[in-house]
């Protein structure tokens, strides 16, 4: 989809669907909506007075101008109550309007930036959110479909601003929104691919493609290098699979003098649980166990295309976790890169093992901060719910606050959870330094405290297990499938560090 900006009166724009908005409780349209209302001889006001148009968030009303203006349709997107209006509500309003326009067969959409006027949202943020809502909501994964989509493809989305003085701000926000949302969609594509089309080798190739598009430096390492590095935990997990592991390093701002920000993503391209086999029902969703890796690839792509004045590194350990005659077993002892020995209690607690070696490797860069993302535990989904919030652990409260603030700006929720020392007691081993599983209770805390053993720098862990997939037909921004959760928060975190 082509994203454009245009300095014009919205009522003069030719499009299949023209989008304006209305706050809940408004009796008289204002701004761009008032201009369109006037051109339509008060049609929007009449809808308000009849009670058919209330401005509720997520609701969209359709009017047909019949030649009064160049656009074929006018869509009025509800913004909800004006009190506490946020960029996330602008994002949702844009998404609702674009979905409605697409359902009506529109191939071109023109919209104002929601909330930039009476919503009191910064114009750049409003533009960014409006574009993100459009790009995210119109996504569809069709790599393996042989029949044409029932959804009409939208060719162009134009963000329209009347005030010429605001155009540089609108253009800047639109660019950020487009790059960030398209990078989230790149992550969605990686996650939605079946595991036979997204092996560790193919994930590495996708990372190389993202690097080429974004002026990133990319190195991909194979099993011999991994062995030379002493990454025994990663090698233990991968040994049950015929597919070779890959260790992927993406780098933006190489050569800069400051300490880097590092994002680490769990890259289990398929997780059958190993010898501790998962139940068959729903196992097909385990192609999404590389959701953290996909988020890191997407985030680095955006950081590169935005050319942020930072040194940012993405690290992705990638492998499969399968049962076979060669697979690692409960009771085995593995040695991580830093020499820590790990007793394997459950082979389905594999993500923390491959992350352990990656977190050790991150120390080579003397990082300013390391943030890992992983679909790590079902316990986090039980604790926080499906598609509600991700778990957040951090060694510093200030770092946790930074991540939560970035998440609030993007509409991605994180809940700060504790790193109590008592969790360390649950992973004590009789035969090794630690175990990889803390038992039934406090599983999400035990997994985080396990990872902490391999860090010696400011560090945060994001357990995104409940957030990477939408199981229902759709939510406010996504259709069924991958969400690309985490990409936009990581990009916002980096942008704020660069400011």
Nearest-10 Cα torsion for 215, 221, 222, 226: -150
Q: Which residues pair with 460 in a beta bridge?
A: 371, 394
**What mean pLDDT comes out for the span 284-292?**
98
pLDDT at position 473, please?
A: 80
**What mean pLDDT comes out for the span 165-177?**
98
Residue 441, pLDDT above cutoff 90: no
**Range of weakest confidence among 119-123, 276-280, 428-432:** 119-123
What band does 472 get if pLDDT is binned at 50, 70 and 90? confident
At 385-422, the pLDDT tens digits run 999 999 999 999 999 999 999 999 999 999 999 999 99
At 236-260, the pLDDT tens digits run 999 999 999 999 999 999 999 999 9
Q: What is the pTM of this model?
A: 0.97
Strand ranges, E, within 115-257 = 156-161, 217-221, 246-252
Question: Would you give the distance in Å from CA 45 to the centre of its chain?
Answer: 39
What band does 308 get if pLDDT is binned at 50, 70 and 90? very high
Residue 440, pLDDT above cutoff 90: no
Residue 351, pLDDT above cutoff 80: yes
Q: Which two tokens stand for residue 281?
A: 């029902």
DSSP per-residue codes, 356-389 = HHHHHHHGGG--SEEEEEE---HHHHHHH-TTT-
Query: What gap in Å lies between CA 204 and CA 297, rounded to an integer?
Result: 10
At 114-165, the pLDDT tens digits run 999 888 899 999 999 999 999 999 999 999 999 999 898 999 999 999 999 9
Q: Which residue in the block uniquely carries the two structure tokens 């604790």?
A: 383
224: burial class by Cβ within 10 Å (0-12, 13-18, 19+)?
exposed
At 39-94, the pLDDT tens digits run 999 999 999 999 999 999 999 999 999 999 999 999 999 999 999 999 999 999 99
pLDDT at position 475, please?
A: 84
Asked if 62 contacts 18 with a C-beta cutoff of 8 angstroms, the reply is: no
- DSSP state letter for 499: -
**What mean pLDDT comes out for the span 259-285?**
98
pLDDT at position 457, please?
A: 98
Report the phi/psi class of residue 379: left, alpha or beta, with left for phi > 0 and alpha for psi in -120 to 50: alpha
Nearest to 125 by CA among 137, 140, 111, 115: 115
Residues 6 or more apart in contact with residue 403 via CB below 8 angstroms: 371, 392, 394, 414, 460, 462, 489, 493
Query: What gap in Å lies between CA 439 and CA 96, rounded to an integer?
Result: 43
**Which residues are part of the catalytic machinery?**
278, 352
Residue 474, pLDDT above cutoff 80: no
Mean pLDDT across the chain: 97
pLDDT at position 299, please?
A: 99
At 481-492, the pLDDT tens digits run 999 999 999 999
Q: Which two tokens stand for residue 410?
A: 């993007």
Question: Would you give the distance in Å from CA 266 to the centre of its chain?
Answer: 14
**What mean pLDDT comes out for the span 306-313?**
98
H or E, element range at 43: helix 43-50
Q: Which two tokens stand for residue 492?
A: 């916002």
Residue 197, pLDDT above cutoff 80: yes
Residues 6 or more apart in contact with residue 35 via CB below 8 angstroms: 9, 10, 11
**What mean pLDDT comes out for the span 343-366?**
98
**What mean pLDDT comes out for the span 172-196?**
98
């Amino acid at each position: 989809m082509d994203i454009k900006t245009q300095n014009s009166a919205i009522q003069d724009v030719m499009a299949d669907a023209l989008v304006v908005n209305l706050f809940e409780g408004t009796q008289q349209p204002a701004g761009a909506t008032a201009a369109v209302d006037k051109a339509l001889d008060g049609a929007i006001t009449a809808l308000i007075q009849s009670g058919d148009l209330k401005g509720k968030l997520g609701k969209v009303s359709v009017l047909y101008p019949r030649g009064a203006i160049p656009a074929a349709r006018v869509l009025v997107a509800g913004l909800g109550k004006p009190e506490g209006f946020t960029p996330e509500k602008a994002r949702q309003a844009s998404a609702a309007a674009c979905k409605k326009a697409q359902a009506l067969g529109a191939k071109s959409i023109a919209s104002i930036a929601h909330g930039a006027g009476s919503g009191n949202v910064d114009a750049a943020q409003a533009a960014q959110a409006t574009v993100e809502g459009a790009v995210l909501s119109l996504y569809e994964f069709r790599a393996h479909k042989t029949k044409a989509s029932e959804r009409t493809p939208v060719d162009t989305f134009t963000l329209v601003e009347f005030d010429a003085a605001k155009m540089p701000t609108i253009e800047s926000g639109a660019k950020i929104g487009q790059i960030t949302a398209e990078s989230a969609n790149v992550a969605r594509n990686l996650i939605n691919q079946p595991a036979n089309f997204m092996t560790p080798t193919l994930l590495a190739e996708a990372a190389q493609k993202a690097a080429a598009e974004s002026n990133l430096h990319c190195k991909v390492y194979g099993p011999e290098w991994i062995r030379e590095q002493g990454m025994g935990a990663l090698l233990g997990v991968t040994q049950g699979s015929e597919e070779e592991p890959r260790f992927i390093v993406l780098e933006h701002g190489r050569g800069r003098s400051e300490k880097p920000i590092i994002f680490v993503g769990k890259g289990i391209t398929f997780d059958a649980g190993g010898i501790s086999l998962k139940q068959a029902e729903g196992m097909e969703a385990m192609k999404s166990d590389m959701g953290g890796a996909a988020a890191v690839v997407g985030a680095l792509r955006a950081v590169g295309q935005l050319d942020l004045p930072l040194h940012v590194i993405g690290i992705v350990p990638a492998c499969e976790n399968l049962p076979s005659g060669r697979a690692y077993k409960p009771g085995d002892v593995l040695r991580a890169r830093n020499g820590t020995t790990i007793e394997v209690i459950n082979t389905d607690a594999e993500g923390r093992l491959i992350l352990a070696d990656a977190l050790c490797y991150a120390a080579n860069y003397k990082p300013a901060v390391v943030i890992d993302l992983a679909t790590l535990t079902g316990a986090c989904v039980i604790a926080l719910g499906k598609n509600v919030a991700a778990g957040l652990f951090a060694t510093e409260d200030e770092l946790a606050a930074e991540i939560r603030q970035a998440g609030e700006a993007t509409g991605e929720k994180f809940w700060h959870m504790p790193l109590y020392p008592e969790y360390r007691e649950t992973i004590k081993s009789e035969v090794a330094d630690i175990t990889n599983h803390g038992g039934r209770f406090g599983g999400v805390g035990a997994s985080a405290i396990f990872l902490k053993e391999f860090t010696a720098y400011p560090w945060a862990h994001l357990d995104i297990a409940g957030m990477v997939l939408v199981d229902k037909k759709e939510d406010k921004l996504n259709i069924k499938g991958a969400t690309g959760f985490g990409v936009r928060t990581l990009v916002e975190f980096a942008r704020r560090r660069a400011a």
